[in-house]
Amino acid sequence: MGTTNSSICNWQLIDDAKKILSDGNHTSNAVNNLLLDLRSRFNLNAIVVRQRISRPFSLRIMYEHVKNCPTKRINQTITYSEEDWNKSVSEYKKGYYIYYFDENKAPISGVIAKYKPQCILQLPYFSKGVFLGTLDFIDFEQPHDWSEQDIIILSSLRDLIFEDLTKLDEDKESKSSEYDKDYITGMNRYETFIENLDRAIPSCTIGNNAILVVYSDIHHFKLINEGYGYRKGDELLREYARQLQSGRTYIDACRVHSDNFIVAYQIQASDIDTTLRELEIEQKWLSLELQKCCPDSHIRICSGIYIIDNSDIDAATTAAYANMARKQSKQEKGLRSVLFSSDMIKDMKRRAYLNDELPKAIQNHNLVVYYQPKISCSSEKLFGAEALIRWQKDDGTFIYPDEFIPEFESNGNIVSLDYYVYEEVFRYQRYRLDHNLSVFPVSMNVSRLHLESNDILPYIRSLLDKYQIPPKYIEFELTENIYMQSIEPARKFISTCNDLGISVSMDDFGSGYSSLNMISSLPIDVLKIDKIFMKNETLSDNDKIVLNSVIDMAKRLNMTVLCEGVESKSQLNFLKDAGCDIIQGYYYGKPMSQTEFDKFVTSYV
């Protein structure tokens, strides 16, 4: 076929191309199909799409359909000198470039050149003035005589292809940012972290190389989100990430989820102790840095550390162990960083056991409500009781609340447990009323989680309705921490209880961060002074000074004062003189079963 002046393209080509490109759901397949169609339609030897890449002056062959040319060139990068690049781009700016073979001219370079192409039509693609690549039509056998109309139509086709490719790139980019990086901090994803750590673990040998896996988070981060808003929370996370990444060199670091971060540091085995000490200091410093983002809150970083000293463990397990140690660091006041120990696995199994067994324990009444008497100081008569849960196993042994309440508070199971306790108490009060036995107020503990859900007040109302208990026999205890952490829900809870005629106490007063100003602003009926003040059988002068002022303050605020944990006569005498109203403690009685409490009541009234 010789050269011809008539057009070989018509606009039908564009419609056909659009159809091919929109067929199927995979753009790169569609582009391949289109190139194949075009190559055979025009009987060309090759059609090539070259796209500009981030490497300077470089194009990469993204698609190519070649007849009689076995060399695989897809993904090949062609890098030009700056001069050649600029020359080509200024040529391309004219709209298109046609090369015709000429024995007298310098040959073109590259693999295609081996076949002495007779004709190459290059249609460059520019977007907003930036050169992004070319669509090349190559003929080895005879020169095509492309007409102006052919070039116009093929240029439209080129636009179609490049628009599709740009979209594909954007998709890839957004997918990679979505899938490969954390969208808040830009850190690697957890899966990538684990892959990188797995790759590094074989370097660990006892006494030689080690890796420290540090899993950390901000204690009560949720409160920061709630108090300052999520945008501030995100800002804090970004700063956290920045600080972690700008500190000591690491194998990898990532945000696992929420405010949970994990970092792996490669160190010499001989440096383990020093590094642990340094990390402790760095962590304090990190807390102070983050504090700057939220000056009014108390930022505490908690972390758990796992030391990899041999290669017999996989990365995911080390992360789980470091996380276990982190959880432990939260439970121990004042501790910021905890090293993993194998006891934690036992502890985890125990917690799993408790969570698994809870529904059965509720159903089988293995959870038993105990009652601890409260005695009035003035009359030395029974004033009421506090309901305290005990878990009685089938073998008769007990599990005490300190062993399971923190776990259930952290996973939400506390809600069903407490509802069970409330119902048991209401039923007990109903039983005493029905049997014309003297009835006393019984207080029940409330967890923060109750206040965060909207269920507790309707539930209490339903119990009042169901058992018809006069509200004066019901009391709820909220620890001072609850007031601090959930002030508004606490306020709502107290005011509804007040409306219902149920009294509310502040439990564990003096054990944490109490805000005296808060006490005066909340209509609390009873102040329960924490048993921490009763640590000495004979109170120290300083304890007495504090107790005198607390009792005095509560009385001025018209609150009833109860002191918990009273074990000795001398404590009792002091508290009576100081004006304390009610005593709860082993001195008068330990928490006891319902049957024992029934007997206690008879002997005390």
Instruction: Enumerate binding residues for ligand C2E (CB under 6 A).
Output: 372, 388-389, 400-402, 405, 414, 418, 421, 445, 447, 507-508, 531, 564-567, 585-586, 591
- Smallest separation (angstroms) from ligand C2E to the CB of 401: 3
β 582-584/560-564 pair status: parallel
Q: Encoding tokens for residue 195?
A: 């892959």
- Smallest separation (angstroms) from Ca ion to the CB of 186: 46
- Smallest separation (angstroms) from Ca ion to the CB of 532: 10
Q: Report the distance separating Cα 439 and Cα 432, nearest Å.
A: 6
Q: Encoding tokens for residue 517?
A: 């100003």
Residue 282: contacted member of Ca ion, ligand C2E, none (CB under 5 to 8 Å, by partner type): none
Name which of 61 and 506 has its Cβ closer to Ca ion. 506
Q: Report the distance separating Cα 187 and Cα 240, nearest Å.
A: 11
Residue 372: contacted member of ligand C2E, Ca ion, none (CB under 5 to 8 Å, by partner type): ligand C2E
Q: Which amino acid is at 272?
A: I
Residue 405: contacted member of Ca ion, ligand C2E, none (CB under 5 to 8 Å, by partner type): ligand C2E
User: Tokens 């890796």 correspond to what residue?
Assistant: 211
Give the Cα-Cα-Cα angle 408, 336, 531 (nearest 5 degrees): 55
Q: Applying CB under 5 A, which part among 73-81, 258-266, 390-398, 442-450 lies near Ca ion?
A: 442-450
By the 8 A CB rule, do 290 and 299 touch? yes
Name which of 259 and 477 has its Cβ closer to Ca ion. 477
Q: Applying CB under 5 A, which part among 6-14, 293-301, 424-432, 564-572 lies near Ca ion?
A: 564-572
Q: Which of 150, 407, 477, 581 binds Ca ion (CB under 5 A)?
A: 477
Name which of 164 and 564 has its Cβ closer to Ca ion. 564
Q: Applying CB under 5 A, which part among 339-347, 352-360, 473-481, 518-526 lies near Ca ion?
A: 473-481
Q: Applying CB under 5 A, which part among 106-114, 252-260, 421-429, 507-515 lies near Ca ion?
A: 507-515
Q: Which of 372, 508, 560, 597 binds Ca ion (CB under 5 A)?
A: 508
User: Under the criterion CB under 5 A, does residue 507 sit at the interface with Ca ion?
Assistant: yes
Name which of 150 and 530 has its Cβ closer to ligand C2E. 530
User: Under the criterion CB under 5 A, does residue 480 sit at the interface with Ca ion?
Assistant: no
- Smallest separation (angstroms) from ligand C2E to the CB of 535: 9
Which of 410, 213, 219 has the alpha carbon at shortest distance from 302? 219
Residue 389: contacted member of ligand C2E, Ca ion, none (CB under 5 to 8 Å, by partner type): ligand C2E
Which of 283, 24, 10 has the alpha carbon at shortest distance from 153? 10
Name which of 233 and 585 has its Cβ closer to ligand C2E. 585
Name which of 150 and 480 has its Cβ closer to ligand C2E. 480
Name which of 214 and 566 has its Cβ closer to ligand C2E. 566
Which of 131, 147, 161 has the alpha carbon at shortest distance from 47? 161
Name which of 86 and 453 has its Cβ closer to ligand C2E. 453
Alpha-helical (H) ranges within 295-441 are 315-331, 343-363, 401-411, 414-434
CA-CA-CA-CA dihedral for 32, 33, 36, 37, to nearest 10: -150
By the 8 A CB rule, do 259 and 251 touch? no
Name which of 252 and 424 has its Cβ closer to ligand C2E. 424
- Smallest separation (angstroms) from ligand C2E to the CB of 416: 11
Sort residue 33 into left (φ over 0), alpha (ψ -120 to 50) or beta.
alpha
DSSP structure string for 103-166? TTSPPPPSTGGGG--SEEEEEEEEETTEEEEEEEEEESSS-----HHHHHHHHHHHHHHHHHHH
Residue 339: contacted member of ligand C2E, Ca ion, none (CB under 5 to 8 Å, by partner type): none
User: Under the criterion CB under 5 A, does residue 503 sit at the interface with Ca ion?
Assistant: no
- Smallest separation (angstroms) from ligand C2E to the CB of 414: 6
Per-state percent for the chain, helix, strand, coil, to nearest 5: 50, 20, 30
DSSP structure string for 353-366? HHHHHHHHHHHTT-
Name which of 507 and 581 has its Cβ closer to Ca ion. 507
Q: Report the distance separating Cα 343 and Cα 185, nearest Å.
A: 34
The residue ranges that bind Ca ion (CB under 5 A) are 445, 477, 507-508, 564
